[in-house]
Each structure stands twice: as C-alpha cells, then as structure tokens.
Amino acid sequence: MDAGLTNRNFWLEVHVVAASTKDACLDGRALQDAVERWLDGLDPEADRRDAPPELKWQWGGVVVRLTARHKVPELRTTDVPVVGNAGPAFAHFAG
C-alpha cells in the first residue's frame, strides 16, 4: 500500500483483524483508494496528537483500522515511507 499512495502528508499506523484465516480476503486496490480519499480530506497542517483521525475499513472478513499521524513538512516526500507502526506489526485472527 505504501508505494501506491500519492498522499505523503501523514504517517499511517495499520491494524488488521480477520474473522478467520480461511475467510480472510482483502481487496488491496479498494483499500488503497479508500485510504487515499480519506487522507485527501484531512488537513496536513493540523497536529492532532491527542485525537488522531482514524479510518475503519472492512472487506471480505477483514477489518483494517488506520490511524493518521502528523508528519512535519520536511518528511512529506516520496522517499519517506507512509506506513510505520509504533509497535511491531502483526495480524490478529479472531475466532
């Protein structure tokens, strides 16, 4: 997802939950489009550390929760990754 996003104004934390491994299905293109539309509607100059904007997206038994974190202007370039979780990345399968 990182390479396909044109909006580079935010860090994105990504959390994924799937109902089960056999039912899990994700349309990456649909997710990327939804994330791009969401990010385009956010103000990159608003530093909302206490209440960062979140997007909850669902598809085929998968729930993706994204949190947008403020990026200083110097880091809003194409060579700086967008996706970067504060902790280790993992997928959680409920059920």
Q: Among the residues of the chain, which ranges form H helices?
A: 28-40
- The model carries a pTM of 0.77
Q: What is the DSSP letter of 83?
A: B
Q: Where are the domains of the chain?
A: 2-75
- Secondary structure of residue 71 in the 3-state scheme: coil
Q: Check: CB of residue 45 under 8 Å from CB of residue 70.
A: no
Average pLDDT per consecutive 10 residues, the chain (95 residues; last block may be shorter): 80 80 73 93 88 90 87 82 66 55
**pLDDT value of residue 47:** 79
Q: If you average pLDDT over every residue of the chain, what do you get?
A: 81
Residue of 61, 8, 69, 58 lying closest to 34 (CA atoms): 58
